[in-house]
Structure 1
């Protein structure tokens, strides 16, 4: 059942996501607590698109308040972000969902309705694209030391150059060894790029779409190794088992070469339904 909220002077509207109206007719939304833990999540039908909303208090979720919380209250931020993600997971499990970013807030339902009405075709195409699909993420980390050892051991060109340096005068050795080290580092970079690309291509055939995102810093990933690949894959739900079998095979195959693969999912279509 579609519910319309009457805005008070102190109310805003928190938008979680958008779902096709026809899906809610067959599978009505079961209300549960919203992000403020007081108001319940409800639906607002706007033609063929239905918004999943929660009324919130402007005193708690104004732009200024949120900015202050983000900068000074990590506990609040983590709790609200977790609620947002958990809610999107629930919706994704029941509907074709276009998920919205954390803290997408409208001042009125009328503003939201105008936005959706003006982009109706875009939403229709997105729903078609992500129906019965889910996202998976692949992050690849490399053991540079191990890869370097493999490069030096198995590259005849590099081995020959290293051997030739030994017959040079000490002065020449110093400069030639610097060039040799640079060549080894370049080879390591090429190996990492080539192997990551191989892994990515072996997965794209199982997916509807794929993309490569920016690598995270060590501070963001929480790991001592650099991230060398950050791939994202849009997968038909009925191909999940096949996809995961390939993932496990790749993890085993490339582990001995110094590559660690971290797969996570399934996720709502954050990337491929990004507005």
Structure 2
């Protein structure tokens, strides 16, 4: 017996949403984008094969980069298109419900919470600032033995050890300075944003950057202050040379409006129940 499609949820918005502008947009698995409406709210959704998105399959897939990367890109693409139409509450990746009735139940039960979240992000966008240990830090290196300046009788091995020790001390000093700079930069940016979050710095394998990440900040900024915020990041990069700052955005407010916990009630589930 063929099972009814499951419902993948991308984002939540207010009604009315100009859904005609989403026509032709496809999401996860290349399926068309649709909507579910209840309580004055709109869930932007897509229909997916329930046999591919049961609890166990989702758990395996979320650890599989070959599945995760294209799926995350498709999820983000839809969320970003909805965000261009107005305020959104992003829904985290792989939030799947058994049917539309379960989605409507969530919209109805959490309408007050969702309305507050949408109010918070009206006219605002998320900007990301990452800070990496600079490859040309301003911290002076610890002095080692200069050429010809070693102790009488010291050989090439001793000279190498001195240079190695000096390099390690300089690296440690640069790391400590970058930690201090990251905290200072975040404090300043937070004061110039509507809200701020510090995420855990990404490992090199995930960031794809050779330098170590020391700051992974997210900042909710009013649209009319976006240029001012970008200029501030540039000035902070100049005055904190132990960090190389990278500004990204604008993004949908993933760090500020996403649901803080799993929806409950109304028969809803994150994964499709068998």
Q: 1:223 to 1:11 in 2, by over 3 A?
A: same
Q: 1:193 to 1:68 in 2, by over 3 A?
A: closer
Q: 1:224 to 1:94 in 2, by over 3 A?
A: same
Q: 1:241 to 1:92 in 2, by over 3 A?
A: same
- Which residue of structure 2 lines up, in the alignment, with residue 205 of structure 1? 191
Q: Give the distance between the partners of 1:207 and 1:146, measured in 2 at CA.
A: 27
- Which residue of structure 2 lines up, in the alignment, with residue 273 of structure 1? 257
Map Cα deviations across residues 173-214 of structure 1 (whole Å, 9 max, x no partner): xxxxxxx99998876555323322222233223210112111
* TM-score, structure 1 normalization: 0.75
- Which residue of structure 2 lines up, in the alignment, with residue 233 of structure 1? 219
* TM-score, structure 2 normalization: 0.75
Q: In 1, are the aligned partners of 2:15 and 2:42 still within 8 Å (CA)? A: yes
- Which residue of structure 2 lines up, in the alignment, with residue 88 of structure 1? 79
Q: In 2, are the aligned partners of 1:10 and 1:59 still within 8 Å (CA)? A: no
Cα shift at 1:72: 5.3
Give the root-mean-square deviation of aligned CA atoms. 3.1
Q: Give the distance between the partners of 2:30 and 2:197, measured in 1 at CA.
A: 36
Cα shift at 1:141: 1.0
For residue 137 of structure 1, give the secondary structure of its aligned residue in structure 2.
Answer: strand
* 1:261 lines up with 2:245 in the alignment: yes
Map Cα deviations across residues 83-114 of structure 1 (whole Å, 9 max, x no partner): 11111111111121111111110012222222
Q: Give the distance between the partners of 2:35 and 2:9, measured in 1 at CA.
A: 10
Map Cα deviations across residues 26-48 of structure 1 (whole Å, 9 max, x no partner): x344333332324x212211112
Aligned length: 239
- Which residue of structure 1 lines up, in the alignment, with residue 132 of structure 2? 141
> Which gives a bigger RCO, structure 1 or 2 (Cα 8 Å, sep 6+)?
2
Alignment match of 1:13 (pick from 4, 7, 15): 7
- Which residue of structure 2 lines up, in the alignment, with residue 170 of structure 1? none
Q: Give the distance between the partners of 2:137 and 2:227, measured in 1 at CA.
A: 31
For residue 235 of structure 1, give the secondary structure of its aligned residue in structure 2.
Answer: strand
Larger helix percent: 1
Alignment match of 1:121 (pick from 112, 116, 119): 112
* Structure 2 portions without partners, runs of 5+: 144-165, 260-274
Cα shift at 1:239: 1.1
